Amino acid sequence: MKEIILKVISQPTVGLEAENIAPKVFACKSSMEIAGLPIYEGNRERRLGDFFDVSGEAGEAEAETRIVIEGDVRLTKRIGQGMRAGEIHIKGSAGMHLGSKMRGGKVTVEGDCEAFCFQEMRGGVVHIKGNAGNYLGSATRGNWRGMRGGTITVDGNAGSEIATFMKGGKIHVKGDCASFAGVHMNKGFIVIDGRAERRIGAEMIGGTIVANEVEAMLAGFKPVETVKAPEIESEKFTGNYKKYSGDHADSRAKGTVWVKIQ
């Protein structure tokens, strides 16, 4: 695997629309060509080289290309949009819509990521070492078909409404989670190692959520049983867990929420 390094020269005050920062676009291109790729600053077309110092060499194919971004790209949006293979490593914080509609490959973020990252993801492996913003792994506005595959691991905390309309895949939040985690969830698996705020699993009709602590359960959830050291989705958990079914606000409710008994 060959590596392209993008070193941040400057970040503008308005967002950059940079769906061209993706292994598929970079593959088979020289660093000169990559620096000449168009990206948008607000509604103005600019060159990638205006904002990044490009070095290294791209691979022959998408899967052979690794992109390393050195610096903070909080205002650069849509990095790795629709990627199917390859690797992106961001050694700082990432902007909105990172890896949206991603189908494969690997993304690592050393810092935090902003809202709307990995929307409607279908595959791949993601590791966020800082905190994640709102709408992580959710459906885009209006859509009822959310994340369908892949895994996302967040070492820090996550924002509100993560995994809306989730239909598959796994999200693991090692810290706390704001409200409405897994709203409208249909399938898939969410694990929250910390504390989840209110309205967890609202209107979920399928899928599984495991939380260490929950601020309050919605009225639509019915307690089913208490299990000691349960095995959930072929993962072992230690301690006693209370199992809820729901959300019975919808007649098709077949979701499950597990909450650890402290």
Partner 1 sequence: MELEIKNGVVFDPLNKVDGEKKDILIRDGRIVEKLKGKHDVIDASGKLVMPGGVEIHSHFAGGKETAGRMLRPEDGARTVYPKRNGLRSGSGYSMPSSFTAGYLYAQMGYTMCNTPAMPPLFARHTHEELGDVPIVDKSAYPTFDGNWFVMRYLKEGDPDKLAACVAWFLRATKGLVIKIVNPGGTENWGWGKNAVGIDDPVIGFDVTPAQIVKGLAEVNERLKLPHSIHLHPNNLGKPGNIETTVETLELCREVKSANARQTVYLTHAQFHSFGGDSWKNFESKADELAKYINRCDHVVCDTGNVTLDETTTMTSDGPMEYFLHNLTHLKWVNKDVELETAPGITPFIYSRKNPVHSVQWAIGLELALLIDDPFKVLLATDHPNGGPFTRYPRIIAWLMSEPYRRYYMEERVHKGAQKGSSLATLDREYTFSDIAVVTRAGQAKALGLSELKGHLGVGAHGDVAIYDIDPAQVDPSKDFKAVEKGFAKTAYTIKDGEIIVKDGLIRATPQGRTYWANPVVDHELDREMLKDVEQYFKKYYSVNLANYPVQKEYLKRGREIQIDARDVK
- Closest among 226, 113, 122, 222 to 173, alpha carbons compared: 113
The one among 13, 32, 142, 238 contacting partner 1 by CB under 8 A: 142
User: Contacting partner 1 (CB under 8 A), which of 11, 140, 151, 240?
Assistant: 140
Cβ at position 205, least distance to partner 1 in Å: 8
Shortest spacing between CB 163 and partner 1, in angstroms: 17
CB of 78 vs partner 1, minimal distance in Å? 13
DSSP type of residue 139: P
At 24 the three-state DSSP class reads helix
Give the Cα separation of 171 and 137 in Å (integer): 8
Q: Which stretch binds partner 1 (CB under 8 A): 137-145, 156-164, 206-214, 235-243?
A: 137-145
Q: Following DSSP, what letter does each residue of 159-204 receive, concatenated?
A: -SSTTTT-EEEEEEESS-B-S-TTTT--EEEEEEEEEE-SSTTTT-
Minimal distance, residue 141 CB to partner 1, in Å: 5
144 near partner 1, judged by CB under 8 A: yes
42 binds partner 1 (CB under 8 A): no
State the Cα–Cα distance between residues 190 and 164, nearest whole angstrom: 11
Binding flag, residue 30, partner 1 (CB under 8 A): no
Q: Does residue number 44 form part of the binding site for partner 1 (CB under 8 A)?
A: no
Among 141, 234, 236, 262, binds partner 1 (CB under 8 A): 141
179 binds partner 1 (CB under 8 A): no
CB atoms within 10 A of CB 50: 13
Instruction: Decide: is 153 part of the binding site for partner 1 (CB under 8 A).
Output: no
Residues 223-252 binding partner 1 (CB under 8 A) are 252
3-state class (DSSP) for residue 48: helix
HSE-CB of 143 using CA atoms within 13 angstroms: 18
| Span from 29-37, 136-144, 175-183, 187-195 in contact with partner 1 (CB under 8 A) | 136-144
Type of residue found at 88: I
Among 32, 66, 188, which residue's Cα sits nearest to residue 121?
A: 188
Round to the nearest angstrom and report the end-to-end CA distance of the chain. 46
Question: Is 20 among the residues that bind partner 1 (CB under 8 A)?
Answer: no
Binder of partner 1 out of 38, 61, 143, 223 (CB under 8 A)? 143
User: Which stretch, 91-99, 104-112, 135-143, 195-203, contacts partner 1 (CB under 8 A)?
Assistant: 135-143
Residue ranges binding partner 1 (CB under 8 A)? 140-144, 252
